[in-house]
Structures are given as C-alpha cells and as structure tokens.
C-alpha cells in the first residue's frame, strides 16, 4: 500500500534526511530516525518497509524540484535570447546557481539532502551504486547537453571533463558550508556558508576553468 503523503510520511523523511546526512547511511539506524521524527518503528516500517526503501524515498523527494529550478533558469536565459540557445556562461550558471542557492540559503532540510547526496556519490556498495546513477545519470546527460549546445562538436570531449569539474567544485562547496573549515583557516576572512560570497566567486571560477579546458586538444 502506498503511504499517504504528509504527517508521519514527511516527518520520517525529514528525520531520515538529517540522520543519513549526519551519520551516513550505514551508521544510521531506523530507531534513531523514528525517535527523531517522533513516530514509532512500526509506523516507519508501515510506510517504508526497509531502510533501503526509505533512502530511495529521501533521495527522490527533492530531486526533481531542484532540477526544475535549473530548467526554469535555463529557460529564462533562452527567453532573453528570443528562444535561442543560452551561451556557455548562462548554461553553467543554470547548472550551478540553483543548487548552491538551495544548499546555502534554504531551510536546513536542503542542506541535509545535498550533504547526503554528496556522501552517497562516493560510496561503493552495490545497492547505492544502483540508486544514485538512476537519479544522476539522466540529469547529467541533460545538463551536459546544455554545455554541448554552446560549442562545436570537436569540443565535446573537453566539455565532458569540464562538466565533471564543475560538479565537483559545486559539491565540495556545499559540503564545506556545513563545517565551514574555510572560516577557520582564513581566520574569519571568508566563509563557505556565505551564499553571495561563494556564488560570486565559484561561478567565474568554473566558467573561466571551462573556457581554459576548451583550448586543450582532445585526447
């Protein structure tokens, strides 16, 4: 039976999001999640059956919302060009900025969600290696397509590498925001949790890096 959205469903997903992000999937227990949500283990089992099912629901709940924000920004850039293709700077901005804004300025659930996603991208268990690619690969192909649309076909190999580096820089910035190591090592001069300061610097950094990579002969 499908669980009814709202009420205990949302409470359990919110709690699971937080516990998974803080402890990692393997260390988290359903007992901890139920306790944080204020619900019982029986309610958790009724809605989600297993911890794996719970993880999948946590990952899929916010995923499309995040990508719709990216698509909306990309469409705005296209509209400003009379329906034309956004340029490279705009395509990268539409890939990076919505996720950064959610992670650094939205409610804590988004930070937990993106931190969890970052953790799971680098695990090697067979089950997680199925869940994460099922979500990330289709949108990755779509976003890389935005970059490819801005450049000649001979540059597409370099753009694939650039996409990997863009995502890596973005995810690292999100993870750093939680502990803000940057504030400590810079003696307070900079903060990884400052959305405006980070986005003002991250975007030109990855845009310039991408343009530099495009000048490298494909190998």
User: φ, ψ for residue 127 (rounded to 5)?
Assistant: -65, -45
* Residue 25: band (very low, low, confident or very high) from pLDDT cuts 50, 70, 90: confident
Average pLDDT of the chain is 88
Checking if the pLDDT of 122 tops 70, the result is no
Burial of 36 (0-12, 13-18, 19+ CB in 10 A): middle
- Cα separation, 80 vs 92, whole angstroms: 16
Instruction: Determine the length of the chain.
Output: 219
Question: Above pLDDT 90, what percent of the chain?
Answer: 55
* Residue whose C-alpha is closest to residue 112's, from 214, 8, 203, 120: 120
- Residue 97's pLDDT is what? 94
The more confidently predicted of residues 89 and 127 is 89
Report pLDDT digits (tens) over 27-60: 899 999 999 999 999 999 999 988 889 998 999 8
- Cα separation, 77 vs 150, whole angstroms: 13
Mean local confidence (pLDDT), 166-177: 87
User: φ, ψ for residue 215 (rounded to 5)?
Assistant: -90, 0
Mean local confidence (pLDDT), 143-157: 93
> 1-49 and 62-213: same fold?
no
- Centroid of chain to Cα 214: 25
- Residue 19's pLDDT is what? 93
* Residue 149: band (very low, low, confident or very high) from pLDDT cuts 50, 70, 90: very high
Checking if the pLDDT of 2 tops 90, the result is no
Q: Which CATH class is domain 1-49?
A: mainly alpha
* Residue whose C-alpha is closest to residue 97's, from 119, 72, 120: 72
The predicted model scores a pTM of 0.84
- Residue 124's pLDDT is what? 53
- Cα separation, 163 vs 197, whole angstroms: 22
- Cα separation, 33 vs 48, whole angstroms: 12
- Residue 95's pLDDT is what? 97
- Residue 1's pLDDT is what? 32
Question: What angle in degrees, to the nearest 10, is found between the helix axes of 108-120 and 88-105?
Answer: 120
Checking if the pLDDT of 3 tops 50, the result is no
Mean local confidence (pLDDT), 88-108: 89
Mean local confidence (pLDDT), 105-132: 74
Checking if the pLDDT of 5 tops 80, the result is no
Contacts of 204 (CB under 8 A, 6+ apart): none
Contacts of 174 (CB under 8 A, 6+ apart): 99, 100, 103, 104, 111, 114, 115, 118
Mean local confidence (pLDDT), 146-152: 93
- Residue 108's pLDDT is what? 79
- Residue 4's pLDDT is what? 43
Please report, for the chain, the start and end positions of each structural domain, with discontinuous segments joined by +.
1-49, 62-213
Mean local confidence (pLDDT), 75-101: 95
Q: Which CATH class is domain 62-213?
A: mainly alpha
Number of H helices and E strands in the chain, helices first, is 10, 0
């Amino acid at each position: 039976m499908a669980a009814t959205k709202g009420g205990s469903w949302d409470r359990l997903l919110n709690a699971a999001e937080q516990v998974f992000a803080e402890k990692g999937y393997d260390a988290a227990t359903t007992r901890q999640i139920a306790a944080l949500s204020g619900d019982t283990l029986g309610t958790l089992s009724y809605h989600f059956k297993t911890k794996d099912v719970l993880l999948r629901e946590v990952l899929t709940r916010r995923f499309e919302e995040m990508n719709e924000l990216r698509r909306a920004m990309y469409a705005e850039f296209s509209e400003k060009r009379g329906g034309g293709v956004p340029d490279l700077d705009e395509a990268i901005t539409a890939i990076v900025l919505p996720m950064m804004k959610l992670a650094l300025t939205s409610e804590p659930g988004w930070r937990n969600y993106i931190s969890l996603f970052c953790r799971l991208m680098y695990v090697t268990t067979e089950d997680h290696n199925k869940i994460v690619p099922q979500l990330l690969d289709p949108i990755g192909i779509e976003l890389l397509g935005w970059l490819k649309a801005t450049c000649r076909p001979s540059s597409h190999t370099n753009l694939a590498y650039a996409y990997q580096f863009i995502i890596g820089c973005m995810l690292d910035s999100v993870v750093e925001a939680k502990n803000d190591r940057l504030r400590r090592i810079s003696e307070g001069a900079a903060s990884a949790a400052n959305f405006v300061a980070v986005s003002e610097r991250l975007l030109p950094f990855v845009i310039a890096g991408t343009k530099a990579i495009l000048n490298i002969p494909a190998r």
